[in-house]
Amino acid sequence: MVFLPLIAFLLSFGSFIGCILVLSMSIAKWETFKRMLLALFAIVLLAVATGGLAAWLFHSTAGAVLAGLFCVPASLLSAAVAGWHHDRSLKTLRRTTPGTPP
Protein backbone atom coordinates (compact mmCIF):
# COMPACT_ATOMS: atom_id res chain seq x y z
CA MET A 1 0.00 0.00 0.00
CA VAL A 2 2.98 2.27 0.51
CA PHE A 3 4.08 2.13 -3.13
CA LEU A 4 0.65 2.86 -4.63
CA PRO A 5 1.11 6.67 -4.70
CA LEU A 6 4.50 6.21 -6.37
CA ILE A 7 2.99 3.88 -8.96
CA ALA A 8 0.15 6.36 -9.56
CA PHE A 9 2.64 9.21 -9.99
CA LEU A 10 4.81 7.27 -12.43
CA LEU A 11 1.77 6.19 -14.44
CA SER A 12 0.50 9.80 -14.50
CA PHE A 13 3.86 11.15 -15.59
CA GLY A 14 4.29 8.55 -18.32
CA SER A 15 0.77 9.07 -19.59
CA PHE A 16 1.23 12.85 -19.62
CA ILE A 17 4.39 12.49 -21.69
CA GLY A 18 2.50 10.10 -23.99
CA CYS A 19 -0.27 12.67 -24.44
CA ILE A 20 2.27 15.34 -25.36
CA LEU A 21 3.96 13.02 -27.87
CA VAL A 22 0.66 12.05 -29.47
CA LEU A 23 -0.36 15.69 -29.84
CA SER A 24 3.00 16.67 -31.28
CA MET A 25 2.84 13.93 -33.94
CA SER A 26 -0.81 14.42 -34.83
CA ILE A 27 -1.91 15.79 -38.19
CA ALA A 28 -5.10 17.42 -36.88
CA LYS A 29 -4.02 18.65 -33.46
CA TRP A 30 -7.25 20.37 -32.42
CA GLU A 31 -9.47 17.39 -33.33
CA THR A 32 -7.12 14.99 -31.58
CA PHE A 33 -7.05 17.23 -28.51
CA LYS A 34 -10.86 17.30 -28.40
CA ARG A 35 -11.01 13.50 -28.56
CA MET A 36 -8.40 13.23 -25.85
CA LEU A 37 -10.34 15.61 -23.58
CA LEU A 38 -13.53 13.65 -24.17
CA ALA A 39 -11.81 10.40 -23.20
CA LEU A 40 -10.20 12.05 -20.16
CA PHE A 41 -13.48 13.38 -18.77
CA ALA A 42 -15.37 10.17 -19.52
CA ILE A 43 -12.88 8.03 -17.63
CA VAL A 44 -12.71 10.51 -14.73
CA LEU A 45 -16.49 10.37 -14.36
CA LEU A 46 -16.51 6.58 -14.57
CA ALA A 47 -13.73 6.25 -11.99
CA VAL A 48 -15.37 8.65 -9.56
CA ALA A 49 -18.73 6.93 -9.95
CA THR A 50 -17.14 3.50 -9.48
CA GLY A 51 -15.29 4.64 -6.35
CA GLY A 52 -18.41 6.17 -4.87
CA LEU A 53 -20.46 3.09 -5.67
CA ALA A 54 -17.80 0.82 -4.16
CA ALA A 55 -17.69 2.91 -0.98
CA TRP A 56 -21.47 2.89 -0.72
CA LEU A 57 -21.96 -0.82 -1.41
CA PHE A 58 -19.07 -2.27 0.56
CA HIS A 59 -19.11 0.25 3.44
CA SER A 60 -15.36 0.59 3.01
CA THR A 61 -13.25 3.43 1.79
CA ALA A 62 -10.58 1.22 0.21
CA GLY A 63 -12.36 1.11 -3.14
CA ALA A 64 -12.93 4.84 -3.10
CA VAL A 65 -9.31 5.51 -2.21
CA LEU A 66 -8.03 3.27 -5.01
CA ALA A 67 -10.45 4.79 -7.51
CA GLY A 68 -9.41 8.28 -6.46
CA LEU A 69 -5.74 7.40 -6.53
CA PHE A 70 -5.81 5.92 -10.02
CA CYS A 71 -8.48 8.22 -11.48
CA VAL A 72 -6.06 10.68 -13.07
CA PRO A 73 -3.48 8.14 -14.30
CA ALA A 74 -6.15 5.96 -15.90
CA SER A 75 -7.83 8.93 -17.55
CA LEU A 76 -4.53 10.28 -18.88
CA LEU A 77 -3.65 6.86 -20.24
CA SER A 78 -7.04 6.54 -21.92
CA ALA A 79 -6.62 10.05 -23.40
CA ALA A 80 -3.23 9.09 -24.83
CA VAL A 81 -4.67 5.90 -26.34
CA ALA A 82 -7.68 7.76 -27.77
CA GLY A 83 -5.40 10.40 -29.32
CA TRP A 84 -3.08 7.74 -30.72
CA HIS A 85 -6.04 5.86 -32.23
CA HIS A 86 -7.42 9.07 -33.78
CA ASP A 87 -4.03 9.97 -35.22
CA ARG A 88 -3.54 6.49 -36.66
CA SER A 89 -6.98 6.53 -38.25
CA LEU A 90 -6.28 9.93 -39.83
CA LYS A 91 -2.95 8.74 -41.21
CA THR A 92 -4.40 5.54 -42.70
CA LEU A 93 -7.28 7.53 -44.19
CA ARG A 94 -4.77 9.93 -45.72
CA ARG A 95 -2.75 7.04 -47.19
CA THR A 96 -5.75 5.37 -48.78
CA THR A 97 -7.28 8.44 -50.43
CA PRO A 98 -6.04 8.94 -53.99
CA GLY A 99 -4.18 12.09 -54.88
CA THR A 100 -2.54 12.70 -51.50
CA PRO A 101 1.17 12.20 -50.93
CA PRO A 102 2.10 9.44 -48.44
Give the residue-averaged pLDDT of 25-34. Answer: 92
Give the residue-averaged pLDDT of 47-73. Answer: 85
Q: What is the pLDDT of residue 58?
A: 84
Q: What is the pLDDT of residues 35-53, one digit of tens each?
A: 999 999 999 999 888 888 8
Q: Which residues contact 77 (CB under 8 A, 6 or more apart)?
A: 11, 15, 18
Q: What is the pLDDT of residue 99?
A: 65
CB atoms within 10 A of CB 88: 12
